C-alpha cells in the first residue's frame, strides 16, 4: 500500500512458449526464470499481493515454491498465442473479486524482464501516486535510434521512419525511449477494460538500459546468464 492505495501485482506466465519451450521456468543461474520477477515483487515495499496467472501445473509449482500465490488456473482460451494480456489481467481481477479481494491498481510484471528490481517497482508506484496519475509504464533509452531507421515504399525506395532530416550529429539526436515491458501500472476502474492498450500508458517511468533485457531467444538467455554471473 502507498498513500492508502492498494496494489495487486500480476505475473502472467503461460506454459505454451514456442520459441523457448518451458521458457518461464527455464533454469538460469540456479533459479527458474520466473523467480527473478517474483523475488523483485516480494521485495517491493508497496505491493499488497503478488499472484501468478498460469495455465501450467509446473509453473504453478515453481511460483508457489518461490513465494507467489496462484489462486486459480488460467483457462485454456487465455493461454493461446493470440490471447491478449489485458484479457488475462481482467480475468485475474475478476477471479479475485469472487473471493472478496479488490485493489486500486494493477501492476503487470512480465517474467521475461528478469533484470527489473524491487526499487524500480516502488519508484514507479511513488511517481504515479505522487503525481496523481492513473497509469505509468517503464521505458528505456533506445539502443538503435529511429532517426537512422528506414521503411521501404511501394516504389522500392527508402524513406525516413521519422520523416525528419537524419543528417544530425549523434549527440544531437532527439531523446527517444521504448516501452521495455518491465512495469505497467493501471488504475482498476471503468477504463480497465478490453479496449485498454497497456503499451499506450502515458506516464513514463525511466529505467537505465542496463536493466532492460527481454527474454525472447536462447541468445537472450545466454546474455542473462552472463550478466547474472557478472561476466558482462
Could you report the per-residue pLDDT of 127-138, keeping only the tens digit for each? 999 999 999 999
pLDDT single digits (tens) 5-40:
999 999 999 998 878 999 999 999 999 999 999 999
Is 41 in contact with 11 (CB distance < 8 Å)?
A: yes
92-119 residue pLDDT tens: 999 999 999 999 999 999 999 999 999 9
Q: Which fold has domain 7-228?
A: Spore Coat Polysaccharide Biosynthesis Protein SpsA; Chain A (3.90.550)
Place of cell 531523446: 175
Number of separate helices (H) and strands (E) present in the chain: 5, 10
Q: Which three cell numbers stand for residue 63?
A: 511460483
Dihedral of the alpha carbons of 15, 215, 30, 71, in degrees to the nearest 10: -40
Look at the block and give the residue holding cell 479488490: 102
What pLDDT score was predicted for residue 110? 98
Domain ranges of the chain: 7-228
d(CA 158, CA 93): 46
Q: Distance between CA atoms of 183 and 107, rounded to whole angstroms? A: 7
Average model confidence (pLDDT) across the chain: 94
Contact 159, 150 (CB under 8 A): yes
Global pTM reads 0.93
Query: What pLDDT shows up at residue 120?
Result: 98
| Predicted confidence band of residue 215 (pLDDT cuts 50, 70, 90) | very high
Amino acid at each position: 500500500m502507498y498513500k492508502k492505495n492498494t496494489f495487486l501485482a500480476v505475473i502472467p506466465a503461460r506454459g505454451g512458449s514456442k520459441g523457448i519451450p518451458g521458457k518461464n521456468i527455464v533454469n538460469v543461474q540456479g533459479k527458474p526464470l520466473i523467480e527473478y520477477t517474483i523475488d523483485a515483487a516480494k521485495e517491493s515495499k508497496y505491493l499488497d499481493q503478488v499472484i501468478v496467472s498460469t495455465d501450467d501445473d509446473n509453473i504453478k509449482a515453481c511460483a508457489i515454491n518461490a513465494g507467489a500465490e496462484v489462486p486459480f488456473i488460467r483457462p485454456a482460451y487465455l493461454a493461446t498465442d493470440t490471447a491478449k494480456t489485458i484479457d488475462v489481467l481482467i480475468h485475474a481481477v475478476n477471479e479475485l473479486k469472487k473471493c472478496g479481494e479488490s485493489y486500486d491498481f494493477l501492476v503487470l510484471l512480465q517474467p521475461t524482464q528478469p533484470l527489473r528490481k524491487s526499487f524500480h517497482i516502488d519508484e514507479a508506484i511513488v511517481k504515479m501516486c505522487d503525481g496523481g496519475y492513473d497509469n505509468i509504464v517503464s521505458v528505456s533509452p533506445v539502443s538503435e535510434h529511429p532517426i537512422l531507421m528506414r521503411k521501404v515504399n511501394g516504389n522500392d525506395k527508402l524513406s525516413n521512419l521519422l520523416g525528419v532530416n537524419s543528417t544530425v550529429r549523434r549527440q544531437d539526436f532527439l531523446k527517444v525511449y521504448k516501452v521495455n515491458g518491465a512495469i505497467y501500472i493501471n488504475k482498476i476502474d471503468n477504463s480497465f477494460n478490453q479496449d485498454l492498450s497497456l503499451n499506450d500508458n502515458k506516464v513514463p517511468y525511466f529505467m537505465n538500459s542496463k536493466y532492460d533485457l527481454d527474454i525472447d531467444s536462447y541468445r537472450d538467455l545466454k546474455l542473462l546468464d552472463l550478466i547474472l554471473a557478472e561476466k558482462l
